[in-house]
Every structure is written in structure tokens, then in C-alpha cells.
Chain A
Amino acid sequence: MLLEKYMEMMKETVVIIGGGPAGMEAALSLAGRGYKVHLVEKTNALGGHLARWDRLFPQQDPAQEILNELVNRIREADDRIEVVYNAELQYIKRRMRGMEVLLSNQTLLQADAVLVACGFDLFRAERKEEYGYGIYENVLTSADLERKFKEHKVVCTDGRTPEKVAFVHCVGSRDEKVDHTYCSKVCCVTAVKQACEIKELYPEAEVFNLYMDLRMFDRYFEQMYHRAQSHYGVHFVRGRLSEVAETVDGKILIKTEDTLLGRPMKLTVDMLVLMVGMQACAQTAELAEKLDLKVSASDHFFETKDLFLRGNHTHAKGVFLAGACTGPKSLPDTLQDARSAAESIHRYLTD
């Protein structure tokens, strides 16, 4: 008994930065192995982007259910996991053994390892001025539409039911002009998901997906694409949006080329949805400096030690990475990456 108590006291502590899916899942994995975890979340609630999503591809699972389960499990493990809300990392000091972590709320934590799981930011669509976001009212982002789904209010700003909706893929992804040269991986499948959901709500609506390449790479994705075409009759147009204008009656006139036909094309829609990509979160540079991490010059996400056997390791001792802070990831990938990070930390601490 006493020995057990002693072992318990000697058990190492891990500080996790970010209370999104990656941070939560990693916290649960580490707690399951007996480690003490401080989960530091900058807002007043856990969940990150997951909390703002309605349903999840590829099988329309409600995001809320998954989030609730994660939050409940964290609550149950409260002897091991302490969540610190409204706090960010202030600085880190290396000690003989482990690190000293000071948070912005002046809490001082001892840590044997730090896991960065700060996630991603969505691309600010207003940076593509020619797409009219923030200028024309019926131009939304995929996140805006998801919120509308959640609130069960998928209508135009004047309350009309949309008769024509277009989804624009690759907004802020694969675009050198905004210095995002990479693919965000999840927008294609999200666009197909949202297109199907619009058709579910309004079977009469005409829905168009403007894509450059359809990247349906993961399990059940291709089936979703198939269903969108054959079951819902969604139109797929291979071409990238060049610019939009507003018509007198508040509709959105879009210009693109149907590259498969080789002809420029115009289309008036009631609602234009911009599939905003992922970008490294705003704190990346700051965290990189404080924790001595490397940032990729190519995509501005954190650099891992390698892409194969040390995919959660950093170049700094005792600091690990999980989730979308090392590049765009879908939710299943993020959760797996979090578990893999926990395993890496465990190996590091028991070595």
C-alpha cells in the first residue's frame, strides 16, 4: 500500500497545451498509463473546433456526442487530469529533472514532458477579397454553414430558402498568393458532406461543388462522393472560382471555368460557401520560440523530428506534438495522433 502511494507520488507529470480533441485524447491516454496531466486550455471550455461543428464526415456522426464522451471521460479521470481553463503558456524553464511551466494565470507547474496540441486556425476568407467574404452577405465559410446547421437555420440573410448553393473548394489552400501551398485535406470531403446535407434539407435545391482535384483519399470518402452524385444529384464542376459579384437582388454571381469543357462559366447562386482551409494556429511562432521548436518554412506548421518513427517528437528534449499543429488532419487522424503522442511520451519517460 505504502509503496503504491509512493509510486503514485513519484509518477511523472505531463503538461498539455490545448484542450481540443488532440489534447483531450492524449490526456486520457496518459492518465490511463498513470501519469498526472495538466490540460491547459486557452478558452473557458474544452473541445476546440469540434465544439463548433454539427455533424462529422464520413457517416454524419453528431459532433456533440463525440465531444460529450471525451469531456465525460476527462471528468471521470479528474484524479489524474487537471484542466486549467483560460490559460496559456507564459514561459518554460528547464530544470535538472524536467521543466517548470508558468502559465498566463501565474500558475506554476512542474512537468516532466510537455505536449503541444494547439491545433489549427481556419483560413480568414476575407483575405481573398475577390471571393467577397465580408462584402456580400450571402457568402459564407464552411464554418459559418456548420453553425447554421447546428442552429437549424440554413437560410439566406433575407430569410429565403436557398435554391442554388455553390461550394468552393480549396479556399486558402493550395494557394501561393496567401502562402498556403499545401492541401488542407479535409475541405473536399467536408464540402461533399455539406452539399449532401443541403440536399437533405432542400431536395429541390441545385448544389454545385467547384473543385480543383477531388481528394477522396480515406475510408468511405469515395462512397460519399458517389452518393453525392448518384443519390443527391450534386453538380461537380472542375474549376476554381476567380471572382464574385453581387447582383441587384442580392444573389451571388460567380465566375469560373469549366475546365473539363474548356469554357468559362457563370452561375448565380443564393448562397456561396467557401471551404476554408487550415493554417497553423496564431500562437505557433510564439510557442516555437518559447519551447525551442522548429517551424516549417513551407507550411508554417510545427516540424516533427521525422515523418516516420518520430512523428510526435520535436527537436527539443521532452517536448512533443500532437494533432493538427503538425499539419492538417481529419478528426480520426487527430485522435490517433494524440494516442501515438501519448505512447511516445510514455516511452520517453520510462526510458
Chain B
Amino acid sequence: MHERFANAYDPFVIPYMIGFVFVIAYLIVALCFVVKSLPMSDRKKMLKHLFSYKIFITVKDIFADCLLHVKIWKKNKLLGYMHSSIAFGWFMLIVVGHIEIFFYAPHRVNLPYYPIFFRYFMMETETTVGGSVFFFLMDFFLLMVLSGIALAMIKRIRRRLFGMKRTTRLKWNDQLGMYALWCIFPLRFLAESFTSHISGGGFLTRGFGMIFDWFNQFMNNDALIRPTWWAYSIALMVFFLTLPWSRFTHILSEALLIYMRNAGIRETSKNNGYASVEIYSCSRCGLCLDPCQMVSGASLRQMASVEFTRNIRWGQTTQALEAASYCLMCNRCVQACPVGVNSVQLKLNLKGADVSYRYPHRYDYVESEAAPSPLATTSAWADILQGEAVTAETAGVSAAGAGKPEVVYFAGCMSHLTPRIEQSMVRIFEAAGVRYTFLDEDGGICCGRPLMLAGDRTGGEQLVVKNTEAILATGAQILVCSCPICYKIFKDTYKLEGVRVLHHTEYLLQLLEAGRITVRKSAETGVFHDPCELGRHSGIYRQPRDILYRVLNLHTTPYEGKDALCCGHSIAAEGMPYKKRRMIAKDALRKMTENPVDVLVTACPSCKRAFAEIGTTRIKDIAEIVSEQLVCPHLAAQPKK
């Protein structure tokens, strides 16, 4: 083992060094920018995290996500292998390379290029134990990376092998970075092979080197060695120089993202540092494309999250805003993202920033129900409001007998357009002998979530205050709502002291389990559609199924639970044309009823309407099914079918 050159230098290291210094400088500057744009509290969190025991979890997460790509493995083994072989293989080449330096040439540790071009500068022999081990390890990991690169090339042509129907289309900057990356390791392999008759090599490099030796007898000896090392160095330089402008920035930012996320930092505003790290961490892998129903159901590829993050990154705010206004916020892409980019929150933040260019909403006209605001007298609805409010109250009291109601029922705006849901809930309350009050029987005010989903937090908060007063005034301890949109905000944002917030799926199951209502099972077959706001956003999956097993023959589809589809009519997507929404609804309905059933059951008035508009399948809310199957002799006849 000895060095071939006393000065330990060759001009071909210059391109590499340019790239290396550039990347280090970029890293430091970028980190400063990120930290600078964070609020002080977040900066403290970052510092604290470094010295907390949780840092070990972060190290483990970085290892699992950035190097091994565990999340991608779970999705598709071949795709997982492709990502982890490149990342982990490369990482191990660097690690083993450095160990080699420490082992053989500790005095060269200060030369950053030395491990990169080690085989050129150092001669070694496989006859020693150390030599054979290092040769084997280095060649093994090189082979690993090469296999990953080969797969990456195949993926560009045959992506279905990797479980992907669609992948990203690359712009020139990404292409440059990608081709540079593809070149690095084959060039390293060639360079090491060509040098192997001098410096030695493992099973791979020496093996190929021997073939090369045979060719050597026909041509000028070793003429290819230095040009190949030059090419290797230039490929590295190109890759590094394009790094800040290509998809591969994620190699640097993903680790930082994991660190910051584990430190408890979130994307609270459009320009917050965490948000930018998230955007730079998008590797444009395209795993969010297939789950996105805008892409699969309505040919709106340009609206996918991967394009949105790109638009944000390149300052194309108009396009980004358009994509945000189309997004259904169903969270399917967030769930699929191997890096954990919360693009839905990023879109909300962008909408939130846009709201400042609008006049603030004001709802001072919503006074307490008893005394309508002077504004209200200009409207014909004012008298209705006053008149009906009294009847609604008396109805509530009569059902309640004396004292406070047990339950306050908030149907929600949308449920007024699906009267069957309201009718069924009322019937069930009466069958169960529940003392209830129907808060918005004559139409209430909005829960505020639609405003929040339009990015308008302050507008939404005004409605939160108004509704909180009305709900607390009833004195009920349970709030039951029929609309998952309301449910989500009541549960997460409202401060309803002493009131349990339940969606009617949860409440109906409670009534069933407590024996307050009994049902018989019908012969009908059905499937359940999980509404996004109830399922992915609120985690209610079990309750509806527990109910449905008791009332019909529940079949399953591949689109359930976390993999549930969106009905396409999300309130978040204010900009999506109706025709596109309808296409998504139609596509989702077709997928869920591929094996025909008697009825598609859901638990959201919006989903119900969206699918009912298509008109091909009977759609029912879970409350309707329960109401129809009630066994209750003391109640009036079944509602008409």
C-alpha cells in the first residue's frame, strides 16, 4: 500500500473541488436563510432539539428516510431498492472511502478530494486482509449504486414496473442534474477499472479491468486513464453546480426537514423557513401523481402537488395559486409523499397570503338569534328568522321535556340540501328518546371551515365565535353534526368546554352499542365511501363500518380507509370548474361500484350529492340506512322510500 504521487495532486481534481466548495457554501448560506426566516421560538426549538434525547430519533429517521427510503419500500419494492441503492450505496462509498483514508493515509485526511479519487492516488493489493476487505466493500457498494442507476434509467421508460402509472416530466435543469448523476458512477467504475492494473481493484473493477488490459495490448497503454478520471470529476462538478437548481436539492434539504419536523416546527405561514425547506425537499419523484384524482380523474396534471411545489420554488405564484384553488385538499398526495411534504398546508398558506389582498370579511350582522341586527331588517328573511326561531325552540323544549337538552344537533349548511339526512337523524333521536335541540333547523350560520379552506383564518374565526356562543347556550353536553366539514372544525378549532363533539357516525354507533336503538339487517348490499374530512382528516374509519355490518351486507372495495377516494366536490377547490368536479365524481363512483352493489353509503352531505348527481347508483347517508332499519314500534311509519 503506497501513494503513487508524492504531491497527492492532479489537475483533474479541480472541477470536483469547484463543485464541492460551491455546495458547502450553498449549504451554509441556505441554512442561514432558513434559520433567519424562522420565528425566534422555532429557532429555540431547533437548538433545543440538538441537545435533547430526541436527536437519536431524528438520526434514525434521517437514516431510514434519506438513505434507506423505507417509505418507498412499503409502496413498491423495486422503486424502494432503486432509491435506497443510490442513496445508501453512495453514502457507504463515502463512509468506507473515508475509513480507507484513515486506515492507509491518515495524513491526507485534510484533502477533501482524496477519498473521491482514492484509487488513482493510492495503490493497494488484495493480498492483504485489509486490502481485500476494502476492495470488496467499495466494489460492492459501487455495484449497488450502479444497479440503482440502471433501474433509474429503466424507470424513465418502463415506469409501470415500479408501480407508477405516471412520473414527472423533467425540465432542462432537472435533466442536466439527472444526466450528471447518471454519469458519475459509471465513470467512476470505468476510471477505477482502467486504473486497476496499477492500483488494484475488487471483483468488479479488477474484473472489468482485466478485459480492458486485453484491449490495451492493441493501443497506447493507459491513454484512457486520466481522461476518464477527468470526466468523472467534471460529472461531479456539474452535479454539484446544478444541485441548488435541480430536484436533487432534496438530498441536502431532506435531512434538515426531518430535523426541523422532529424539533416540532411546522409550516405556519407562506414564507416560513420550514415551508421553504419542504419545497426544496420535494424530489419530484412523482409518487403523488397517481393518487391525485385531479390527474387521474380530470386530466389536470398541471395541478398536481409536484407541479405546485415546483411553481412555488420558481416563484410562479399565479400558477401556484391556481393549483391551490383547484386542489381538493383530500390529502391523498400528502399521504403518498415519501418525504412528508405537506403540500396541502402549503397551499392553504399560499391562499392565506392571498387573502390579505382582499377586503376582510365581517359578520357583525349575525347577532344573537333573539335580536337580529338592524341590517337584518332589510331582508325578508328577518321575519322568517324571528318567527321560526320560536317554533324551533319550542319544538326543542317539547322534545327535551324539562331541563337542558342532552344533545345539540348541528346539521350544517350542506345537510339542508339533503333533507333525508336531517329527517333520518330527527327520527333516530326520537326513537332513542334523546332529549335534543336542532340548532340550525331553520338554517344557521356557516361553521367557518369553508372560509379557513379558502385561506381566510380571521374570517373563519369570527364565525367560530358566533357558533360557539350558540352551541354553549344550549347547555347540551354532546354536539352531533352530520357534515364532516363542520365536524372537523368543531373538533379541532372550536373551544367547546364540556361539550363532546361527535359526527353522527360516532353517535349512532354509541346509541346502538348502548342499546338505545335497535336495528334489523336488510338484504341489501352496499359499500362505504369514506368522506375525506371524516376519514383522512379526522381518522374516523371504524365507526361507520361497525354500524353498517349491522344494517346491510357490507362489501369492500380497494378504495377504503386511507386509500378512500374523494368525491371531487370538496369545498376547498373553489377554482375547479364544475365539469372537472363531475368527472372526478364519476370516475370515483365508477371505481367504487366496479362490483355492483345496491347502494353506496357515505356519511357526508357533499359526497352524497356529488355522487347522486351522477345518477347511476343509489346513494344514501349512513343515517338514512339506520333510520330505515330501525326497530321501533312506538314510532310512526317508515319514511317514504
A and B touch in the complex (CB under 8 A): yes
B418 near A130 (CB under 8 angstroms)?
Answer: yes
**Interface assignment of B580: CB less than 8 Å from any CB of chain A:** no
Most A CB contacts (10 A, CB to CB) among B384, B391, B395 go to B384
Partner of A127, one of B379, B416, B612, B641: B612
A264 near B639 (CB under 8 angstroms)?
Answer: no
Q: Closest CB-CB distance, B256 to chain A, in whole Å?
A: 48
Q: Which residues of B contact A245 (CB under 8 A)?
A: 416, 419
Main secondary structure of the interface of A (DSSP, over half): mixed
What 6 A-B pairs have minimum CB-CB distances, sorted nearest first?
A: A130-B417, A263-B380, A177-B613, A266-B384, A129-B418, A264-B380
CA distance A265 to B380 in the complex (A): 7
- A window 113-135: CB within 8 A of B: 124, 127, 129-130, 132, 134-135
**Interface assignment of A61: CB less than 8 Å from any CB of chain B:** no
16 contacts between A and B (CB under 8 A): A124-B615, A127-B613, A127-B615, A129-B418, A129-B612, A132-B419, A134-B640, A135-B639, A177-B613, A178-B613, A179-B613, A243-B417, A245-B419, A248-B391, A263-B379, A266-B384
B615 near A178 (CB under 8 angstroms)?
Answer: yes
Partner of B640, one of A124, A137, A265: A137
CA distance A132 to B395 in the complex (A): 21
Of chain B, the residue at the smallest CB distance from A245 is B419
Of chain A, the residue at the smallest CB distance from B379 is A264
Contact flags B384-395 to A (C-beta < 8 A → 1, else 0): 100000010001
- B window 623-641: CB within 8 A of A: 639-641
**Interface assignment of A176: CB less than 8 Å from any CB of chain B:** yes
Q: Which residues of A contact B417 (CB under 8 A)?
A: 129-130, 243
**Interface assignment of B159: CB less than 8 Å from any CB of chain A:** no
Q: Which residues of B contact A132 (CB under 8 A)?
A: 419
A135 near B420 (CB under 8 angstroms)?
Answer: yes
Q: Which residues of A contact B582 (CB under 8 A)?
A: 179
**Interface assignment of B381: CB less than 8 Å from any CB of chain A:** yes
Partner of A130, one of B379, B384, B419: B419
Of chain B, the residue at the smallest CB distance from A279 is B615
- B window 301-351: CB within 8 A of A: none
CA distance A136 to B419 in the complex (A): 10
CA distance A177 to B581 in the complex (A): 11
CA distance A256 to B423 in the complex (A): 21
**Interface assignment of B578: CB less than 8 Å from any CB of chain A:** yes
Partner of A129, one of B609, B639, B641: B609
Given contacts A134-B640, A135-B640, A266-B380, contact A243 B613 (CB under 8 A): no
Q: Closest CB-CB distance, B426 to chain A, in whole Å?
A: 11
CA distance A214 to B578 in the complex (A): 27
B615 near A243 (CB under 8 angstroms)?
Answer: no
Q: Which residues of B contact A178 (CB under 8 A)?
A: 613, 615
Of chain A, the residue at the smallest CB distance from B605 is A129
What total of chain A residues lie within 8 Å of the partner, measured CB to CB?
21
Of chain B, the residue at the smallest CB distance from A134 is B640
Contact flags A229-262 to B (C-beta < 8 A → 1, else 0): 0000000000000011100100000000000000
Q: Which residues of A contact B419 (CB under 8 A)?
A: 129-130, 132, 135-136, 243-245
Q: Which residues of A contact B416 (CB under 8 A)?
A: 130, 243, 245
Q: Closest CB-CB distance, A305 to chain B, in whole Å?
A: 28
Q: Which residues of A contact B420 (CB under 8 A)?
A: 129, 135
Contact flags A74-117 to B (C-beta < 8 A → 1, else 0): 00000000000000000000000000000000000000000000
Q: Which residues of A contact B609 (CB under 8 A)?
A: 129
CA distance A177 to B417 in the complex (A): 13
Q: Which residues of A contact B640 (CB under 8 A)?
A: 134-135, 137
CA distance A243 to B605 in the complex (A): 14
- B window 415-454: CB within 8 A of A: 416-420, 423
Q: Closest CB-CB distance, A316 to chain B, in whole Å?
A: 27
CA distance A190 to B420 in the complex (A): 29
CA distance A266 to B416 in the complex (A): 15
B381 near A264 (CB under 8 angstroms)?
Answer: yes
- Given contact pairs A135-B419, A264-B379, enumerate 18 new A-B contacts (beta carbons under 8 Å): A127-B615, A129-B418, A129-B609, A129-B612, A130-B418, A130-B419, A132-B419, A134-B640, A135-B420, A136-B419, A176-B578, A178-B613, A178-B615, A179-B582, A263-B379, A263-B380, A264-B381, A266-B384
- B window 365-384: CB within 8 A of A: 379-381, 384
Q: Which residues of B contact A134 (CB under 8 A)?
A: 640-641
Q: Closest CB-CB distance, B273 to chain A, in whole Å?
A: 44
Most B CB contacts (10 A, CB to CB) among A124, A179, A243, A245 go to A245
CA distance A245 to B422 in the complex (A): 10
Of chain B, the residue at the smallest CB distance from A247 is B391
- B window 393-427: CB within 8 A of A: 395, 416-420, 423
Q: Closest CB-CB distance, B416 to chain A, in whole Å?
A: 6
A248 near B395 (CB under 8 angstroms)?
Answer: yes
CA distance A137 to B379 in the complex (A): 30
CA distance A179 to B379 in the complex (A): 33
CA distance A178 to B615 in the complex (A): 8
Of chain B, the residue at the smallest CB distance from A261 is B380
Q: Which residues of B contact A263 (CB under 8 A)?
A: 379-380
Q: Which residues of A contact B418 (CB under 8 A)?
A: 129-130
Q: Which residues of B contact A243 (CB under 8 A)?
A: 416-417, 419
Of chain A, the residue at the smallest CB distance from B378 is A263
Q: Closest CB-CB distance, B439 to chain A, in whole Å?
A: 15
CA distance A129 to B605 in the complex (A): 11
CA distance A263 to B582 in the complex (A): 31
CA distance A134 to B379 in the complex (A): 32
Contact flags A124-167 to B (C-beta < 8 A → 1, else 0): 10010110101111000000000000000000000000000000
Q: Which residues of A contact B379 (CB under 8 A)?
A: 263-264
CA distance A178 to B611 in the complex (A): 11
Q: Closest CB-CB distance, B105 to chain A, in whole Å?
A: 75
- A window 256-291: CB within 8 A of B: 263-266
- A window 181-238: CB within 8 A of B: none
CA distance A137 to B609 in the complex (A): 21
Q: Closest CB-CB distance, B622 to chain A, in whole Å?
A: 16
Q: Closest CB-CB distance, B389 to chain A, in whole Å?
A: 14
